[in-house]
Each structure stands twice: as structure tokens, then as C-alpha cells.
Structure 1
Amino acid sequence: MRKLRIMTTPTGTVELTEIVFPAEANHYGTLFGGNALQLMAKAAFLAARGAAQRDVVMAGVTDVRFLAPVPVGHVLTLRAWVSRIGRSSLTVCVTGLAATLGSPPEEVLKGIFEMVAVDGKGRPAAIANAYVNQETA
């Protein structure tokens, strides 16, 4: 897949735009669910890493929903934003909108990802207070 990543403000918000190619499709000619989940995880990772300003790992995924199929040739835009910041954990919401030329975007997937900031040894690490205070003030 060709990828275009655009970081937008505020920090912790990400938008990824992808086109669905046949290699990412299932036998029905639509985006394979495993590939959709991989893209969602990537968007969640980038949003959490931007907000935490350090490396993060995925701790869990809840309430993933595939609302409509995404046919080959459609453009999928994933939007991810941090909805909660804890001491070392973050909750990231991801939504996906699909469109083809001449049609309005339609919400096709969504999910919630729990991410944890980690240190160089992969252990949970505190998120900088400066960011937390700035965003919650």
C-alpha cells in the first residue's frame, strides 16, 4: 500500500490515507479485516507516540467494529486521536472513512486502542507532565 501520513495538531491526532489494492483484499474483493486492523493499529501507535513523545506499545484493543466493506480501489482515511492520558497509558480512538471518486466518505470501521508509554527496556514509563498539563489545562 502506498502511504501518506499527515500529523495534525493537536499533538496526538493522526490521519492516514490509504488506497485499497488487490493485495490487501480478501476473496470478496474487499479490504481483508486483518489488514484493516493492522492499519488501525498503526494509526493508534502514531497518535499515542506523538502525544506521549516517547515509544509506546499496544496493551489492548476494545470494541473494534467493521461497519461496511471497503472495496478494492476505494480510499480509506483513518483518523486517530488520543482521548485519555494516564500516568503511562493512553486511550486512542480510531475511525475509518472510505470513499471513491464522486461519493462522500462513509464510516466503515472504528475501534479503541489502549497504548502504554515505555522506556528503553520496554517497561511502562511516565508520560511527560508538561504535555499532560498543557492538554488538560
Structure 2
Amino acid sequence: MSEEVVSRTVEESQSERSEIVFPADSNALGNLFGGRLMQYIDLVGAMAASRHARAITVTASMDHLDFVAPVRVGELLILKASVNRAFRTSMEVGVRAMVEDVREQRLRHVSSAYLTFVAVDRDGQRIVVPPVVPVTEHQKRRYEDAGRRREMRADETQRKKEMRAALPGGFHV
């Protein structure tokens, strides 16, 4: 018996996470470790993907990660994630990280990333995800952009396969 796949809007799965940056999460300059920021990005992205798929999701890739500005110890980091587009079993999720200046009530953009998540069942087998219905003009633009990025990722994957096949002695990069 197969379950009907029902489309979902972007809003249904949007996720947000907030963190205060502590010294244990920072480098010698008092800035948040890039790897820690990547972890937070992955977690909030996974929340959005899981909400959209209503299933377990696993990270397939993270690309186009931009570190725009440092995040300092004591600052309030806010991460927001949205599913930009769903394909058959995968989804592209966009994450934006900002620092909130609580006194001025302003947000400062510090990082953005695109991640691909795959929905799986309890046995780790891929499952079909519902389509995304973009409503606003901004969501429609992100939806279209996600399709273009997917094509570029596919081209890059093919290029890497060809490169590896041409390397002597099974050396892989």
C-alpha cells in the first residue's frame, strides 16, 4: 500500500535555531569556529528537510557555503532554513545565518549555504518526498535557482567521475 505524496508549502517546513556563541566554540581571535557554524547549518537544514519530508533525512552535500562575516563570542547567532525545492527523493535547503544585535534590534548576515538532503526510511532506503509549492516571488526565484544549481552539481559530479577514471593506479580525489 503506497501513501499519497501531498505537496507542501515552504512555510510548512521552515526552521530556525538560535545559539549564543561561547568561548569553547571559538578560535584564538574569539570568533566562532567555521566547523561549528557548519554543524549548526547542517542541523537547522536537517530540521527543515525532515519537516518537509516527514521522514528521516541525511545530508548528501553542502555547497556554496559563504562565510561573510565573523561571529564573535557572546553574540546571538540565528539560523533560518527553508526547503527551496524537492526533487524525487532529495531536497535543496537554503540556510541563512545572522547575528542579532539585541540592543539595536538589527540582524547582520554572517553566512549562507545550500545543502542537499535525502529522505530515507528506517532501513536507510530512499523514499519519495513531496513537491514544494513556492508561494511568494522570493520563494519562486529560490525554487528556479535550485533547479539550476542541481544541474551544475550534476555536471560537477560527472566531471569528477571522468577525472577519477583517468587517474592512474586507482588514485582518487
**Fold shared per TM-score above 0.5:** yes
TM-score, length basis structure 1: 0.85
4+ residue runs over 3 A deviation: none
Alignment RMSD (CA, Å): 1.7
> Number of matched residues?
125
1:73–1:100 contact (8 Å) kept in structure 2: no
Q: Secondary structure at the match of 1:63?
A: strand
- 2:82 matched to which residue of 1? 81
For structure 1, list consecutive stretches of 5 or more residues without a partner in the other structure.
Answer: 1-8
CA distance in 1, matches of 2:115, 2:93: 5
CA distance in 2, matches of 1:123, 1:76: 34
CA distance in 2, matches of 1:20, 1:94: 18
Q: Does 1:107 align with 2:109?
A: yes
**What whole-Å deviation, never above 9, does each CA across 1:39-81 have from its counterpart, x for those lacking one?**
0000000000000000000000110011000000000000000
1:43–1:79 contact (8 Å) kept in structure 2: yes
Q: Secondary structure at the match of 1:71?
A: coil
For structure 2, list consecutive stretches of 5 or more residues without a partner in the other structure.
Answer: 1-9, 136-173
- 1:132 matched to which residue of 2? 131
- 2:73 matched to which residue of 1? 72
Query: 1:1-137 residue pairs with structure 2 within 5 A?
Result: 10-103=11-104, 104-127=106-129, 131-132=130-131, 135=133
Structure with higher strand content: 1
- 2:138 matched to which residue of 1? none
Structure with higher helix content: 2
Larger Rg: 2
TM-score, length basis structure 2: 0.68
Q: Percent identity?
A: 32
CA distance in 1, matches of 2:13, 2:102: 29
**What whole-Å deviation, never above 9, does each CA across 1:56-113 have from its counterpart, x for those lacking one?**
0000011001100000000000000000011110000000010233232100000000
